[in-house]
Amino acid sequence: MKKNTISQRYAVLVLFSILLSVVVIGALGILTLWNKTNQDVVTIMNLTTESKAAGMDLVLLKTRDVVDTVAAYVGARVASVNMQSEEAVLQAGLDEEIQELFLSSVENMEGIVGYSIRYSAPYDSIVNGFAFRRRLTEKAFSPAEEESSLANPSDIDWYNLAKTSGKPVWVPIREYPYINGYIFSYAVPIYFDEELVGVACVDADFEVLAKPVREVSLFGNGYAYLTDDKGKVYYHPLIGYGVLLTEDEDDVPEVDSALADTSTHGQLISYEYQGQKKKMAFQSLINDMRLVVTANEEDVRQETNILIRRIVLSAAGIMVIFMFFALEMEKRTMHPALDKMENLAHLDGLTGVLNKTSFIEIQEYLDKKIRSKKAAFGFVMFDANELKKINDQYGHKMGDVYLLSTVEMIQECFPGCQIFRIGGDEFVVVIEGENSLRSAEKWLNSTYAWQEKRRQEKREPWEKPSVAGALSIFDPQIHHSSEEVLAAADKLMYKEKQRMKENNAYGRDSAGNPGM
C-alpha cells in the first residue's frame, strides 16, 4: 500500500472520528439544551401568570372586603333604627353616618369610581339610598344623577343580580360613559334576620385589572389577556372587548375547554392560532376571570434554534467552548428571572416575610428531620389581636401598618429566625438548633416588653400592636410531626389570647409577668 494511500486513509479516519465526535457531542448538547429550555419556559410562563394573578387578586380582595364590611354594618344599623321612634331624626343622622363610613372606606382606594346603596321596602322609608361617583382625574366623589334609580332600585342591574342570587356577586364588566371606559363592580345584599335590607355596591375602573395584564411581555411577542370561564374577552390586544372566543373565526376548541378549569396546574397548553403554534398558561382570579399568558412557540424557541445552528456548524473544540458559553449565558439570563419570580411566589406581598407556601416547605423539611431523629426545633405562634378592630375603625391601610408593626416586633425580638405569615393575622417563627431553643422563651418574653415600650412611645393605635404569642418545642416523646408541634403552639397561643382579652392585657414584662 502506498504511503499516500495510508496517509489519506488515516486522514479520513481522523476526519471521520472528529465528525463523529462533533455529531455525538452536538446531539447531546442539543438534547440537553432543548430539555432545559422546555423546563424553563414552563416555569417562567406559569410563574408570570401566578404572580400577576396574585397582584390582581389583592386588588379584588380589597374591593370585596370594603363592601362586605359596609354591608354588615349597615344591615345591623338600619334594622336597629327600624325598631326605634323619631324616624325622621334618626334617618338624617343614619344617612350621614352610612355615607361617611362608605366614603372613608373607598376614597383612598386605587381605581374606585363609584359607590352606592339601594334599600328595599320597608327600609327605603327609613333611610335614603345614595350613589356617588368620580372621574379618574378627580379625588372627590359627587352625587350621581340617578333619581329614577333611587326611586326604583329594581331598575338597577347590580341590585337585581345581588338580590336574585342572595349572596355577594361580581357584576360583569361593562362600559361606563361617565369615565369614558369600563368598570367592574362588587355588590353585596344586606340582610338582617334573613330579611333583605338593600344592596351595597362599589364600582372600580377596569384599568386597575387591565394595566398589569397589558404590561406582560415575554419571549418577544408574548402577551396576556383576560376572559371569563366561557371565553368572553374582557381584555385582549388582538380581539375586541366582549367577543366570545367560541365565535371568533380562529376559535381554538382546546383553549375553550381548558378555560373551564381553574388553571393550567403548572403545565402549558399547546395550540395553533392564526397559523402560529403557541403555548399558554392561565390562572383564575377570585372574581372567576381567567388571566391567560401566551407566547408564540417560534419566539420561545428562537434563541434555542440559533444555538443549535451554531453547535452543528462548529468544530469539536469550538463546540465544547460554545456549549459552556451557552449554558453560562442561560444561567445569567433566565435563572435570575426565575430566582426573582420564585422569591415573589414564596414571600408575603405586604410584610415581606415568608408566606404559607414557604411554611409548608419548611414543615416538609422538619418532618424529614423528625423521621431521621435529628430534629431540634420549635414554633412560636403569634396572633395580632386588634387587626379587625383597626381595619373596621381606621381602614385596611392602617390595618396593613398594624401588621407591619407586628412584623417589626417579631424581627427585632427573634434575630436570625425565619418568620412566616400563615394567615391574615397569624405569624409563625421557626426556631432551629439547641442554642436558639435555649433563648426562645427569653425572646418570646421580650415581645411583651417591646409591646409595652411601643405603647408608651407611640400615639396611634395601628403603631402599637397587641400580639398574643406562644412557644411549642418539639418533643419526640409527644410529637410525631411538625403539624402536631404547630397545633400545640396554636392551642397555647389562643389560651394566651384569651388571657389577654380577659385581663385587657397588652402583654408581659421582660420577666414574663402579665402586664396591663
Residue 323 has pLDDT above 90, yes or no: no
Are 170 and 56 in contact, with CB atoms under 8 Å apart?
Answer: no
- Report residue 151's pLDDT band, with 50, 70 and 90 as the boundaries: very low
d(Cα 271, Cα 249) in Å, to the nearest integer? 15
Q: How do residues 205-241 score in pLDDT, each as one tens digit?
A: 999 988 999 888 888 788 898 988 888 888 888 887 7
**Greater confidence, 1 or 42?**
42
Write down the pLDDT at residue 512: 43
Say which residues have a Cβ less than 8 Å from residue 211's Cβ, sequence separation at least 6: none
Question: What are the domain boundaries of the chain?
Answer: 58-207, 356-515
**What does the pLDDT average to over 284-309?**
80
Average pLDDT of the residues in 424-452: 92
Buried b (16+ CB within 10 A) or exposed e, 255-282: bbebbeeebbeeebbebebeeeebbbbb
Percent of the chain with pLDDT over 70: 75
Give the pLDDT mean for 328-350.
64
506 or 52, greater pLDDT = 52
As given in the structure block, the three cell numbers for residue 477 are 416523646
Cell of 5: 494511500
Q: How do residues 465-508 score in pLDDT, each as one tens digit?
A: 989 999 999 999 999 999 999 999 999 999 999 988 887 654 44
Beta carbons of 103 and 62 less than 8 angstroms apart: no
The terminus-to-terminus CA distance of the chain in angstroms comes to 107
Ramachandran angles phi, psi of 507, nearest 5°: 160, -150
Give the separation between CA 312 and CA 23, rounded to whole angstroms: 8
Range of weakest confidence among 38-52, 94-108, 162-176, 321-335: 321-335
Please indicate whether residue 213 or residue 21 has the higher confidence score (pLDDT): 213
**309 or 443, which is more confident:** 443
Confidence at residue 479, expressed as pLDDT on a 0 to 100 scale: 92
Q: Which fold has domain 58-207?
A: Beta-Lactamase (3.30.450)
Could you check whether the bond before residue 153 is cis, i.e. omega within 30 degrees of 0?
no
Residue 344 has pLDDT above 60, yes or no: yes
Joined grid coordinates for residue 497: 389570647
Q: Which of 59-63, 73-77, 351-355 has the lowest mean pLDDT?
A: 73-77
- Report the candidate in 180, 131, 134, 194 with the shortest Cα–Cα distance to residue 159: 131
* Predicted pLDDT at 315: 53
Compute the distance between CA of residue 194 and CA of residue 120 in angstroms, rounded to an integer. 13
Give 31's contacts (C-beta < 8 A, 6+ positions apart): none
What does the CA dihedral 338, 339, 342, 344 come to, rounded to 10 degrees? -110
For 353-387, how does the pLDDT look when each residue is reduced to its tens digit (9 = 90+)? Answer: 999 999 999 999 999 999 999 999 999 999 998 88
The whole-number pLDDT of residue 108 equals 87
Mean pLDDT (the chain, rounded): 80
Q: Which helix (H) or strand (E) segment is 199 a member of?
A: strand 195-205
Q: What's the mean pLDDT in 262-290?
A: 86
- Cβ neighbours of residue 80 closer than 8 Å, sequence gap 6 or more: none
pLDDT score at 22? 61
pLDDT reported for residue 152: 47
Per cent of the chain over pLDDT 90 is: 32
447, amino acid identity: T
Query: Phi and psi (nearest 5°) for 135?
Result: -85, 165
For 9, 18, 63, the CA distances from 15, given in Å and listed in that order, are 10, 5, 71
Would you place residue 296 in the very low, low, confident or very high pLDDT band (cuts 50, 70, 90)? Answer: confident
CATH code of 356-515, in short, is 3.30.70.270
Least confident piece of the model among 142-146, 168-172, 196-200? 142-146
Q: Which of 330, 347, 338 is nearest to 55 (CA)?
A: 347
Average pLDDT over residues 341-359: 84
Looking up cell 363592601 gives: 67
pLDDT band at 83 (very low <50, low <70, confident <90, very high): low
Q: What's residue 511's pLDDT?
A: 44
pLDDT tier at 248, thresholds 50, 70, 90:
low
pLDDT of res. 120 = 86
